[in-house]
Each structure stands twice: as structure tokens, then as C-alpha cells.
Amino acid sequence: MGYKDLREWLTKVAALQQLKKINGADWDLEMGAITELIYRDGKGVPPAVLFDKVPGYPEGFRALFGMTCSIERMALTLGFPPVKNGIELVQTYRDKLKDFRPVAPKTVTEGAIFENVDRGENVNVLKFPAPMLHEDDGGRYIGTGCLVITRDPEEGWVNFGTYRVMVHDEKSVAFYISPGKHGNLHRRKYFEKKEPCPVVVCAGQDPVLFLASGNEVSYGLSEYDYAGGFKGEPIEVVHGEYTGLPIPASAEIALEGEAFYDDLKDEGPFGEWTGYYASGGRPEPVIRVKNVYFRNDPILCCARPGRPPSDYLLSKCVVKSAMIWDELEKAGIPNVRGVWCHEAGGGRMFNIVSIEQSYPGHSKQAGMVASQCHAGAYLGRFVIVVDEDIDPSSTFDVLWAMASRTDPVESIEIIKRCWSGPLDPRIPVGKKGFNSRAIIDACRPWEWKDKFPKVVESSPSLRKKVLKKWHNVIFE
């Protein structure tokens, strides 16, 4: 792999000229708004943004946004050769998943994460510049680009997921995990037995861990093993003193503690990935923090969800696209030519699958599975299936196929009572849980696809001939 830890990774990102350092921005709304402006209004490839000299904090206590949110930074993170565009990155990721071999983590006795340890009375999670990200947030969020690590009390496997973590006070934080997520399933098992749920929030780490954490790795497979498979070597871990949970040895910041079933406090509202404050504020379990570990000059990893595009969405869309493609193939669906989860849908609500139609019902099958497989099921909305001549990552082409190849009464299938959750902006407050899906078959109808009107465009040979003669005039 091309880098050892987040710090080496940052050096490589600086060499790619994709690291922007900003000194003096305030944790209170400025870091968030600056990141939003860069990602929504900036020109060119948006950089990773490293904030330092945060007012009220020692120099060196930094916050990093937009880690993996460019094609080049993703390829670097995943150890891929340079690729041209998003769809090629999806293809490369999917190729990797085809004969994927997870690699279990390796326990080591020392790690940079133990450079500083605060225990008990000395715990103060606000010693890090946790940002107030959006104006209507219920508090400062120390966990957004984070890993929330838990162990299944019955099955023994370790999961981590990116679940938002809000600061209540110096020694307690809230964590919000949507129903059905693995961390939620683990937590429930402790809570049902009225036992404390041990948990570690890792709030700065190798970006490859963040990619594994924020996307749907299969139930029962530890994200450590998954990330190790991408790294091609075991992730080195140390074990927390209080929980025994594995923590990345080179992590920047880790909070260790436990949650109880009846210890709840309001969490949220929080600006969410759909672009809305949908889940509001509601009581959620509190983590009582027992120990804090951090490196010298620690880097807090952040993500700022909000109205798209935002600073982590591209990477989410690429990974989700590859995962859905992989699950389609594993479900036995042949001739998938591409998958793209559009950023406007937050990588979940507007997903496109392109296939080479091979038998009657093929397109419906692809759409149904894409809407219900593990990577595609949570909070989905639309799945659009297109023919192989449509680039699923080209919004224009997808809309053209929808506009011209569908007959709405025949082409749209609705599935009811699917997996959604409190973050769904279209479900009224108090009724959150299920939503419906539209599977839009925007392929030429199978029965007469060969007789479907011919597309009006110059033949490749005519294009080539004309381009050869007129290239300079056309593109001068």
C-alpha cells in the first residue's frame, strides 16, 4: 500500500496538490461553512481541507474535511492506479470485490494512539476542536468522519460504522445509529439484557477505514477485515484499556466508554446527508467516556453532510455503486454494465443500473435486487435501469432514457413498506420507518427492442471522418 497512516496519506495528498490548509477558522460554524462553500461553489477538483490554529485550541490540534472526496484521493486511499473518472473507479473497485480476500487485523502492543492518555477525571472530549457544523445543529459533533466500534456480545465479531456523535459535555457524548445498522443491532443485544454496551469512537484515522465504515459491508464481516483486504495487509490494532475493543494503532483520537439502555439524552437536530434536518432531536443513548487516547498534534476527521454536493458524497457514491454492482452479480444477475448512485440522492435515493438486456424480465430483476440488496436497501427511493448504451453516471443520458424509453404506466413498479428510517425527509415526523420504491425500467421494451426506433446520431465512421477533417475548426 502506498501510505502508512493518515499523516503519510496527507503528504501524498499535498503532492497531488489536493490539500488546502486553512489557519484561524473557528470551530463554531466557520469550518463547516467554509467546507460547504468549497464543495458547493468552488471550482475544479475540491481539495481535502485541513484546519489548524483553531481559536481557543493549541496549534496542531487540527480538523480535516473532505478526505476522500475526489477520484484521485480515492484511488490513492484504495491503492488503485490512477483512473480517469468516477465510473472507471467504480469498475476498479468492483474488480477488486470479485475475488476479494478479507485480511484480519493484527494486535500490536504499542501504537501512536497511546502517545497521550486521559483517564477518568481528566477526560475532556472538548479538548479537540469538535465543530458546530450547521446553524440549526443541536450541538458540536466530534464524530462525523469517525468509526464507532462495537462487538457482538453473542457472535463475537467487531463492527464499526460511521454514526454521528454529538458532544453533551466533557465526559459524555451521544451516538445516533439508525434502526437496522449493525451497530444498532449490537447495541440492542446489550440493552435487551440490561448490560452496558462497550463502545469506542475513533475520531481520526486512515481514510481507508472511513471508506469501510461509512458503507454497507456485509453483516458479520468486520470492517477491519474488509479494510485490511483493500490495504493488502492487516490493520494494526491496540486494545482499549476499559473495553478491550480493538482501536487502530495509528489512529489520531479515540474515545472509549460505555452506553446503558436507560441512559438517554437528546441528540440532534443535525444537518443530514439528504440535505434536510429530518430526524430532528430525540433521546438517544449516551456514551459515558472513560478514557481518551490521542496522538501528539491530533487530527480530528470530519464530514459535513448537508444539501448535496457535500464533502464526502463522491466517495460514498463510488463505493455504493461498486457494492451494489457486486451484490447484483452475486445474486446471479448477468451482464451488468455499470452502476451509479447519484450524488443528488446522497448515494442512496437515486441509483442507476445499466445492463445489456439478455432475457425477458432481466431489467426488472436487476432493478428489484438493486433496490433491496444490503448496499442498496436502506433509504432508497428510485432505481432506474437503463440499456448498455446509456452511461449511468451521465445525468443527461439517464434522463433522456427515462424520457424517451419509458411508458410510465408500464415502466414504473412501486414496492411498498421498504427499509427507511427517521432521516427520510418525506416521512412525517412520528411515522418514520417504511418508505416505498419506484423501480423505473428505462430500457427499450424487451419484446420489440430490436425494432425500437433508431437513435439519431452520426455513425462512428462518419464522426471519425468528419473529426479528422474538421477537428480544429470545431474545437478551436
Q: Which helix (H) or strand (E) holds 102?
A: none
Q: Which residue has the cell 475520531?
A: 203
Whichever of 217 and 254 has its CB closer to ligand FMN, that residue is 217
Q: C-alpha 170: how far from its chain's center? A: 28
Which residue from 219, 221, 246, 220 is spatially nearest to 235, judged by alpha carbons?
A: 246
Q: Is the dihedral of CA 460, 466, 472, 473 positive or negative?
A: negative
Q: Is 159 in the site for ligand FMN (CB under 6 A)?
A: yes
Site for ligand FMN contains 215 (CB under 6 A): yes
279 binds ligand FMN (CB under 6 A): no
- The helix-helix angle for 362-372 and 313-330 (nearest 10°) equals 130
Residue whose C-beta lies closest to Mn ion: 182
Give whichever of 159 and 354 is closer to Mn ion, judged by the CB atom: 159
Of residues 174, 303, 318, 439, which one binds ligand FMN by CB under 6 A?
Answer: 303
Q: Which residues bind Mn ion (CB under 5 A)?
A: 159, 182, 217
Task: Choose the stretch contacting ligand FMN; rule: CB under 6 A; options: 20-28, 114-122, 208-216, 405-413.
Answer: 208-216
**Judged by CB under 6 A, does residue 216 bind ligand FMN?**
yes
* Residue in the block written with cell 411515522: 431
Query: Which CB sits closer to ligand FMN, 129 or 207?
Result: 207
Q: What does 306 interact with, of Mn ion, ligand FMN, none (CB < 5 to 8 A by kind)?
A: none
d(C-alpha 62, C-alpha 22), whole Å: 10
Q: Which phi and psi (to 5°) does residue 341 adopt?
A: -100, 110
Interaction of residue 301 with ligand FMN, rule CB under 6 A = no
**Smallest distance from the beta carbon of 262 to Mn ion, in angstroms?**
26
244 dihedral zone (left: phi>0; alpha: psi -120 to 50; beta): left
* Residues 231, 253 contacting (CB under 8 angstroms): no
Examine residue 36 and tell whether it contacts ligand FMN (CB under 6 A).
Answer: no
Which does residue 316 touch among Mn ion, ligand FMN, none (CB within 5 to 8 A, set by kind)? Answer: ligand FMN
Residues near 87 by beta carbon (within 8 Å), at least 6 away in sequence: 338, 340, 391, 392, 393
Phi-psi region for residue 207, left (φ > 0), alpha (ψ -120 to 50) or beta?
alpha
What is d(CA 250, CA 302) in angstroms, rounded to the nearest whole number?
17
Single residue of 32, 47, 183, 285 touching ligand FMN by CB under 6 A: 183
Binding flag, residue 9, ligand FMN (CB under 6 A): no
Nearer to Mn ion, 10 or 322 (CB): 322
Report the nearest approach of ligand FMN to the CB of residue 250 (Å): 21
| Closest separation in Å from C-beta 51 to ligand FMN | 17
Rounded Cα distance between 435 and 450, Å, is 36
93 binds, among ligand FMN, Mn ion, none (CB under 5 to 8 A by kind): none
In this chain, which of 127, 181, 187, 337 binds ligand FMN, going by CB under 6 A?
Answer: 181
Binding positions for ligand FMN, rule: CB under 6 A: 144, 159, 161-164, 176-178, 181-183, 214-217, 303, 305, 312, 316
